Amino acid sequence: MDAGVGGDGNRLSGVSINKAAEQMIYRVGRMSEEEVQREIQELREMVKKQEKRIDRLEKFAIAAYREMVGSEKKAK
C-alpha cells in the first residue's frame, strides 16, 4: 500500500477537512439536529483517517531515517 494513500484509497488533506467543515457551517441553518450530528460524525471520521495516515507516514519516515543512519554507519 502506498504510504500516501489511506487504507480505503482516499487521499485526504487538511484542506479537504477544512472545506467540509466550512461547507457544513453554511448548511447548518437549514439542517435538523440529527443531520448536524451526522455531518459532525462524518467530519470526525475524516479526521480519524487523517490521523491514521499521519501515523503511517511517521512510521515510514522513522524507518527510512534508521535505514539511512544504519547504511552510513556500515559505510564508515
Per-residue pLDDT of 8-26, as tens digits, reads: 444 555 667 778 777 777 7
What secondary structure, in 3-state letters, does the chain show? CCCCCCCCCCCCCHHHHHHHHHHHHHHHHHCCHHHHHHHHHHHHHHHHHHHHHHHHHHHHHHHHHHHHHHHHHHHC
Which pLDDT score is estimated for 15?
66
- The verdict on pTM exceeding 0.85 is no
